Amino acid sequence: MLSNIKTWYRRRIIENQSVPDDIWQNAITHLRFLRALEAAELERLRECVILFLHVKQVSGAHGLVITDEMRVLIAAQACILILNLDLDYYDGWVEIIVYPGEFIRDYEYVDEDGIVHHAVEPASGESWLGGPVILSWEDTVAAMAGTGIRQGYNVVIHEFAHKLDMLNGEANGFPPIHPDMSQQTWSEAFSKAYADFCRSIDEGEMMEIDPYAAESPAEFFAVISEAFFEMPLSVRIHFPAVYEQLALFYRQDPAQRWSEQ
């Protein structure tokens, strides 16, 4: 009964709210990974965007004015991760805060020896456990324009991947996988890929995947999720076991989409 009520409620929202055609076409034009979607997938994504924006608040910081185009662009990137999942994956928090450019993170952390450190550093994105997602609009635009700091860069996908990772606590690179997936297989695939990646970075190898992925298993999951959607053929070639697990988790096969173009 509850599921039927939720379905009816969501359908009413979709019927009474919309994403204007010009704004939606603008999103398709600017977001490369949308161009390989079939018409039915695009329509489902559009409906997800409507529902997402109904329950999430997108706020500008430091005087940044948020337009409808900006809201849809952010929402489309957030919703691509849950296209074949459910909006409930983003339950438990409300706000997305967007700064004009990089913002300053001021925080404390404890190292392996138990020593507390105070850090102040610039950031392009951040996700809080049970709290908001924070984004730099400058970096968001750079990703859309293909002029980001690296190939496959997408700060929105990165931060929302962290949100999925946090569904079972602090981000650790092990989100709650589906019942038909194997925790052991996931762990083995990601552990080996992460170790191999870190070793390659230490040896100075040039990698298509951003070296920031070596920071931690959580960052590896977020960065590889960016690449999974932005340059899936590369991920499938270089990290086949991880690609297979991501395809099962996201219930999507973006490399196959691009292969059929």
pLDDT digits (tens, 9 = 90+) for 211-255: 999 999 999 999 999 999 999 999 999 999 999 999 999 999 999
How far is Cα 40 from Cα 1, in angstroms, rounded to an integer? 27
How far does CA 171 lie from the centroid of its chain? 13
C-alpha distance from residue 86 to each of 5, 19, 82, 118, 164 (Å): 15, 19, 6, 38, 11
Query: Which is more confidently placed, 173 or 209?
Result: 173
What do you get for the CA distance between the two ends of the chain, in Å?
A: 41
Query: Which is more confidently placed, 183 or 123?
Result: 183
How far is Cα 238 from Cα 72, in angstroms, rounded to an integer? 32
**Token pair for residue 98?**
């967007």
Residue whose entry in the numeric block shows the structure tokens 């409620």: 9
Q: Which domains does the chain possess?
A: 1-260 (3.40.390.10)
Q: Is the pTM of this model over 0.75?
A: yes
Inform me whether the pLDDT recorded for 88 exceeds 70: yes
User: Which residues, in sequence order, are bridge partners of residue 95?
Assistant: 57
Task: Evaluate whether 220 touches 190 at the Cβ level (below 8 Å).
Answer: yes
Residue 8 is predicted with a pLDDT of: 93
